[in-house]
Amino acid sequence: MPTISKKGINIPSSPIRKLVPYADKAKQNGIDILHLNIGQPDIKSPVESINAIKDIDLELLKYEYSQGSYEFRKNLCLYYSGHNINVSPDDIITTVGASEALSFTMNSICDPGDEVIIPEPFYANYNGFAHASDVKVIPVTSKIEDNFALPSLESFEKKINKRTKAILICNPCNPTGYVYSKEEIISIANLAKKNDLFIVVDEVYREFIYTDLKHYSILEDKMFFDNAILIDSTSKRYSLCGARIGFIVSKNSNFIETCLKFALARLSPPTLALIAANKALNSDQKYIDGVISEYSHRREVLIDELSKINDIEFSNPMGAFYSIIKLPVKNAEDFAKFLLTDFSINNESVMVAPASGFYSSENNGEDEVRIAFVLNSERIKRAVNIINIGLKEYTG
């Protein structure tokens, strides 16, 4: 019988989706599942994007340029200029979501066996991209009692060796909701520069900040241009997850030229999706302002409701739309399954993401889950109430 590759066998399952079979079965049994497991916004996409697809008049749906249309990349430059980031279309490669951007990046900067340092917990699919690229993730653990702030520079320095190629962070952070300050970004970028490493920053959630802290991008300082790689996407800020449009931005021309080889090999990003994403960039600023206001309100509701549950700890999300919750259980994944298979209130239950999959260190996060506050306030209240009562029944 033909054999499957070791890489394929060992690639980790996404904790965000691994419980889907249990959720599907619950739905078949008439249970409405409140999805807190996945960062799928329920806010409508910009009307400009939807109308662009509805009103399209094409006789031929052709390949787009491998790096994305010039018009789209030029529009992106205008968007970035509003965030104190000055780049040209040649500094940008459009990708099939931020996922492909991360995959291209790891394959462009790492050889098999090379290492990337990432503060954990981190976006679970970083593990998957690394495994697929034969790259080893080296974790530096942040703590829930510190609200998952950036660990000490010394803890990063201890992990650097001749195989280290990059430090990767997410700002604002998925899954913790932490926002790194300008000082933290500069300190970790200085460390990367000092050791001739790349500093890769996933800035997909740039707009989603709920404190007085201002987002600081890795590309705001020319000093880091040779080392800096920015990962971005239209998925979250414009509720265009299904369009799958992301981008890599860097002033390092050697890196961009290498990434372009991977982009050429996969031919092009989806043409229709680029049209929708391009229109989103030109959408009314009131759209983004309204989205941020809505998530800010949902965050307040979530914190208020979680505060009513005894014996839990949770990260206070400064940005993005996620929180890590430490539960009074030994196995949070088993509890997450219990909510889908054995528990409901008024024919409703909740799906959460077991947090162990957001760590690389063994046994970390076993008693934690990640939740995404992407539902409206009333549904968030019902979901947290289900978790609260479910915990009481589960723990007996």
Alpha helices in the chain, H assignment, sequence order = 6-10, 20-28, 47-54, 70-81, 97-109, 125-132, 153-157, 182-194, 253-265, 271-281, 285-306, 332-341, 377-395
C-alpha–C-alpha distance, residues 262 and 60, integer Å: 25
- The per-residue pLDDT for range 146-186, each reduced to its tens digit, is 999 999 999 999 999 999 999 999 999 999 999 999 999 99
Average per-residue pLDDT in the chain? 96
pLDDT at 6: 84
| DSSP code string of 96-136 | EHHHHHHHHHHHHH--TT-EEEEEES--THHHHHHHHTT-E
Decide if pLDDT at 16 tops 80: no
- Cβ-in-10-Å burial (0-12, 13-18, 19+) of 73 comes to buried
Alpha helices in 148-214, H assignment, sequence order = 153-157, 182-194
Give the residue among 379, 373, 391 at the shortest CA–CA distance from 316. Answer: 373
- The per-residue pLDDT for range 343-361, each reduced to its tens digit, is 999 999 999 999 999 999 9
Residue that has been written with the tokens 């219990």 in this structure: 338
Residue 297's contacts (CB-CB under 8 Å, 6 or more residues apart) are 377
Angle among Cα 374, 143, 301 to the nearest 5 degrees reads: 30
The Cβ-side half-sphere exposure at 334, using a 13 Å CA radius, reads 8
pLDDT at 195: 98
Split at pLDDT 50, 70, 90, the class of 57 is confident
Domains within the chain, CATH numbers bracketed: 6-44+286-395 (3.90.1150.10), 48-281 (3.40.640.10)
- The per-residue pLDDT for range 297-349, each reduced to its tens digit, is 999 999 999 999 999 999 999 999 999 999 999 999 999 999 999 999 999 99
Question: How far, in Å, are 91, 127, 256 from residue 250 at the CA level?
Answer: 5, 23, 7
Percent of the chain residues topping a pLDDT of 90? 94
- The per-residue pLDDT for range 183-221, each reduced to its tens digit, is 999 999 999 999 999 999 999 999 999 999 999 999 999
Decide if pLDDT at 4 tops 80: yes
pTM across the whole model = 0.96
**Numbers of helices and strands, H then E, in the chain:** 13, 13
- The per-residue pLDDT for range 269-291, each reduced to its tens digit, is 999 999 999 999 999 999 999 99
Decide if pLDDT at 15 tops 80: no
Averaged pLDDT, 68-74:
97
Buried b (16+ CB within 10 A) or exposed e, 94-116: bbbbbbbbbbbbbbbbbeeebbb
